[in-house]
Amino acid sequence: MNERTRAWIDLLERIFQKRWILELVVSLAVFAFVLALFVSTFWIQSGLQLPSYGMIHTLGVKAYWDVGLTNETTKLEWGTVYAEGSANVIIYLQSTSNVRTKLVQRTDNWTFLDSNDTEVSPPANSTPYMKLEWSYNNEPILPGQVLRVTLILEMIENPSGVQTGFRTYLLSNMITRFRFETYIDSEPV
């Protein structure tokens, strides 16, 4: 083999070796990008998960976890809530009033926390992205009466009057969990 042929072979070997490394690096970069895209798309489409809890404050009633009224509570564990989903909690409310009353429920102090446990302000104190409803039908309750009540926490992706969707709000603010307070008061009938 002459010197000129050997030089061409050496050059081709160096080019092929460098090209192989370049192809490997490019292939790994493309694979990492596609994997990241797949994971983020799956995460968004499968539902953002938010661990959550809330405090319950009562006036004229007491809240319990059980119908036997042995496990009083001041905290509502919602568990993991998904964007565009809902979560239910069943509690038992016992009237502590000595007159007939009706119950009134409201929420306050919605607090969103990011991955650094820093509070992120919702668009308003009572967030448009979530609402709390309940199964209480506005019927008067008697002193000492016990009611089984289902609280329903609903997530709203595109609330009216808000330009940013719930998922966008969660992702852009890196929200990892939230909490809020529920007030249940009794009013004389």
Give the pLDDT confidence of 22-57 residue by residue, as tens digits: 566 567 777 777 666 655 554 444 456 677 889 999
User: Same structural domain for residues 182 and 89?
Assistant: yes
Q: Is residue 71 scored above 50 in pLDDT?
A: yes
Give the pLDDT confidence of 121-164 residue by residue, as tens digits: 776 545 678 889 999 999 999 999 999 999 999 888 777 777 77
User: Same structural domain for residues 101 and 119?
Assistant: yes
Closest listed residue to residue 59, CA positions, set 160, 188, 186: 186
Show the domain range for 13.
1-46
User: Same structural domain for residues 71 and 148?
Assistant: yes
**How many structural domains comprise the chain?**
2
- Cα first-last separation, the chain: 109
User: Same structural domain for residues 90 and 183?
Assistant: yes
User: Same structural domain for residues 141 and 85?
Assistant: yes
Residue 94 pLDDT grade (very low, low, confident, very high; cuts 50, 70, 90): very high
Looking up residue 147, the CATH number of its domain turns out to be 2.60.370
Closest listed residue to residue 77, CA positions, set 97, 96, 52, 41: 52
Asked if residues 50 and 175 have their Cβ atoms less than 8 Å apart, the reply is yes
